[in-house]
Structure 1
Amino acid sequence: MNYDFILVGHGLAGGILTRTLSQQGYTLAVFDTFKANSASRVAAGLINPLAGKRFAKSWLADKFVPFAIAFYQQIEKEFNVKIWQPLPIFKLFSSVEEQNTWMGKSSNPAIQEFIKQVHLNLPLSENINQEFGAIELAQSGYLDVPVLLDILLAALKPPHILINEDFELARLQINPDFISYKQDNNTITARKIVFCEGYQAINNPYFNWLPFSPNKGEVLDIKIEKFPTECIYNKAVYVLPFGTNGFKVGATYNWREVNEQPSAEAMTELQERTEQIIKKPFVITKQSVGIRPAVRDRRPLIGWHPTHPQIGIFNGMGSKGVMMAPYLASNFVASLNGAQLEPEADISRYLKFFKRI
C-alpha cells in the first residue's frame, strides 16, 4: 500500500496537520491509538491572545488567532457541528497597581485588536470577586478539542487509512526516495513520514536531540449552580463554561513530576485559586492530567530531519496548540513546495544540538 505520507499521532497537532494535508490532495496513512487522557483531550482548548500576568501578546497572535478561528469555523460549516465557542475572556485585576500597570500599556497599538473593553470599575457581584475591575479580551474563546478530533478521525476514509495501533520504530525502513513500514502481513510505503507524537517525541531517536521540556498539567471539572456563562474568567487560572452548570478550571504547570497521576497538591492549588475568583460554592466532579509537549524556548518544533529529509516533525506547541496549529500546519505543508518554515518554529534553529551519526 502506497501513500504520500505516514503520520504518527492524531492529537490536536496531528489531527490538524492531517486535515491540512488531505485538503491539499495528499494521501495519508495515520497511526493513532485512542488515549482519553492525552494532552489534547484533557485541555480546555482555550485561545487567549494576551497571556500571563503582564498581559503580553502571545507570539504571532495577530497571525495565529484569525487563521485558527477561520479554520475551525470552516470545519463547523463542512460537518454541521459546533466546536468553536467565541467568548470574551475577563482577565480580572488583583490590585490597583495591576490596574495602573495595564493602563500604561493600553495605548499600545499592537494589542488593540484583542481588547474589547477595559473595566476599571465593575459593580459588586454575588458571583465574582471583581472589585478591582478587569480587561475584557476579544478574539478569544475555546474549542471542543475531543469533538474536533473525533470528527477528523471519522473523516479519514479512502484513499486515506487510519491504523489503530502503536507505531513501532523498529519496523521503519528509510530508503533514499521513500520510507516503508512493515506490518505483520503488509508493507506500507510513503514518500515521507511526520511524527506528531506529543511529549513522547523525547523517546524518538530521530528527534530526541531537540530540547523538549514536557510538563504536567492538571485541570478540574466543577459544577456551579446558576453561574454566568457568557464569558471566561481568568486570574491565575481560567474558569470556563462547559456543559449544563459545568465548568473547567485550570491549569497547573509541573516540570518536576512528569507523570499521569492526579496529585493532591494540584487539586488544592486549583481549588484555592478558583475560590479567589468565584464567590459561590462549587462541587469538583473530576480531576484530569495531561502531559504537554513544551519546549525550552516556548516555540514549536516543526521541520525536517537534518540528514533524513523524508522524516519530519510537527510538535512542541505546549498549551497553545489550538491557537498555533492551523497556521503552522499550513506553513508546514507549504514548505513541501519550497516555502520557508516559520523561522522561530523551524527545528533548524537547534542544529547545534544534532550529532551526525
Structure 2
Amino acid sequence: MERDRTGWSGVALDAAVALALLAIGLVGTAPAGLNEGVPTGRATYPLVAVAALALAVRRRWPLATLAVVTVAVTAYLVLGYPYGPILLSFLVAVYTVAAYRPVRTAALAGAGALVAVVTHVLVGTHPLGLIGLMPAAAWVVVPFAVGTTVRLVRENAARGRVDEARRLADAERLRVAREVHDVVGHGLAAIHMQAEIALHLLARKPEQAEAALTAISRTSKEALDELRVTLTVVRRDEVADERAPVPGLAQLPQLRERLAGAGVPVTVEVDGEPRALPMAVDLAAYRVVQEALTNVLRHAGPATATVRIRYAPDEVAVEVTDTGRGAAAGPARTSGSGLAGMRERVTALGGSFTAGPVPGGGFRVHATLPSGRVP
C-alpha cells in the first residue's frame, strides 16, 4: 500500500513546504525568465502551483505526488518556459520517493520521472539535443541519491533501536533467571537437606524429625515469599508489597537460621559499623552470601561456614568460608553457574570477585562492592 502513516505534525510540515515552494515559484519564475531571456505564458503559473501544492501530501502518497509533479514539470518544460523554481518542487518529489519507498520501487519511479522530464531536451519548444541530457538527469540522480542515503540512515537507526531493545530484553531475562536461580536454588537445597535429616530421624527420634519438618515448612514459606517479592519487583506493572522487603544483608540472621536447620552451622562476623547500602549493592551482597552458603549445602559435605561482612568508607566486602571438601567436591564446586552468576552480579556493579579452595581444606568466596563514600 502506497499510503504512508504521517502524523498531524508531518502533514503540517508538508503543507508548509508546499506553500513555501508555491510562494517561491510565484515570485521567482518571472525573474528567472527575464534572466534567461525566455518569456512566460498563460500556463506557467498554474503549472507552478500544481507542482508545488502536490507536495502537501508528499509523504502520505509519495508515488502519486511524484507523478503529478512530473507531469506538471514536463508540460512546463516542453512548453518552453524558463528553468525556474518549479524544479525545486520536482527535486523534493524525487527525494521523497527515494527516502520513503523501497529501493526497487523508488528506482522505477525515478527512472520514469527521468524519462518524462528529459523529453523536453529532445522535443520541446527549444530542444537542446543530447548535450542537455546530463544536466536534466542530474535533477533526478542527485535528489534520488540524497533520499536513498537518508532512508538507509533511518533504517539503520531503527535496526539499532530494535537491537538495543532486544539486548535489554535479553539482559532482563538473564537478570530474572539469575534471581529465580538464587532464590529457588537456595530454598530447594535447604529443603532437601532438611528432608534428608527428617527421613533419617523419623523412625528413631520422631520428635527431632518433627523439628526438621517444621524447618522445611518455614524454609519453603520463606523461599516462596522471597520469590514472590522478586517477581513482583520484576513485574513493574504491579505494586510491590511493602511488607516484604527486598532481600539484603539485614536478613542474614534468617539465612543463618535456615542453614542451621539444614545442618550447617553458620557464624556471622561483622567488621565496621553496619549502614544502609544502595539497594543494588545490598541485594548483590546478600545473593553472594546466599549462593555461597547454598554451595556449602550442595557440595561441601559435613561442614561449618563463616560469613564475614566488612564495612569500609566507600565499599562493603563479603566473604564466605567453609570447612568442607573444597576443590575435592569436583568441578561443580569451582565452575558451576552459581559462581558465574555471583561474578556477574558483582562485576556489573564495578566490584571484584574471587572464589577458590582454601589450602588445607574448605572453600572461600570473596566479593568487594563499591557502596559510595560515607561523609
TM-score by length of 1: 0.21
Flag the structure with larger Rg: 2
Q: Which structure ranks higher in relative contact order (CA pairs < 8 Å, sequence separation ≥ 6)?
A: 1
Which one has a larger percent strand, Structure 1 or Structure 2? Answer: 1
Which one has a larger percent helix, Structure 1 or Structure 2? Answer: 2
TM-score by length of 2: 0.20
